Amino acid sequence: MLEVQDLKVSYGRLEAVKGISFTINQGECIGLIGPNGAGKTTTLNAIAGVLKRSGGSIAFEGEKLPNQAPEATVRRGISLVPEGRRVFQGLTVEQNLRLGASIRSDKEIDSDIEAMKKRFPALEKYATTRAGSLSGGEQQMIALARALMARPRLLLLDEPSLGLAPLIVDQVFELVDQLRSEGITILLVEQNGLRTLELADRSYVLQGGRIAMSATGAEDFAEVEKAYFGAEDSNAVAKETAND
């Protein structure tokens, strides 16, 4: 479904993504994991059209994507749930959902909104409430539902568990798994390496703007730790992290 070849993205003279390549097959959930500054969010934003790539190519469903505006990418069937949720805080929950369907002109928008309320019960409860007054977990559900209102075939998720309570994190990962089972292809950026390895069909570890390794399950976690932290002794790193 998606083929990224030698992708490069720069901020001025700083090259943040340094020629990475990977593929995603239809119906897969693929993880991008790594420390802050590794290039994960930059990669997602380049695919979404939020950032212009400085080199390489991106093909979606067999057709190369130009350096195009984000709304053109959404029309092609790719939706981004950005880091930090970024809901329209002054608008109601339902208004946020309607904005997610702004590229559509069909007669099923209202029924899709009702379906989202059933999928996310909190959204029905607070449908007429300003989004900015809700909790972080509830805002994450708004952001997910808003992206789904565009009926994407590829969903880009950027740190969906960031800043959420453990119980809500569990709900988010369960939802991602459910969406994958419904046939939506997912590219998931996460710092929660173990949970991503458990969920994803395949994961790539980014380090310094390059792919350091690929992994196919939680059994690869020790090797992923080494690549993630750049450490010789992953057990020592894990202990230090647990003590923090």
| Mean pLDDT value across residues 103-126 | 88
Single pTM value for the model:
0.86
Residues 6 or more apart from 66 whose CB is under 8 A from it? none
Q: Calculate helix-pair angle for 136-148, 93-100, nearest 10 degrees.
A: 30
CA dist 223 and 207 (Å) reads: 13
* Mean pLDDT along residues 203-228: 82
| pLDDT tens digits, 229-241 | 664 444 433 443 3
Give the rounded distance of the alpha carbon of 118 from its chain centre.
Answer: 22
Which domains are present in the chain?
2-77+152-243 (3.40.50.300), 88-150 (no CATH)
Which of 51-65, 114-128, 138-152 shows the lowest per-residue confidence on average (mean pLDDT)? Answer: 114-128
Compute the distance between CA of residue 138 and CA of residue 115 in angstroms, rounded to an integer: 16
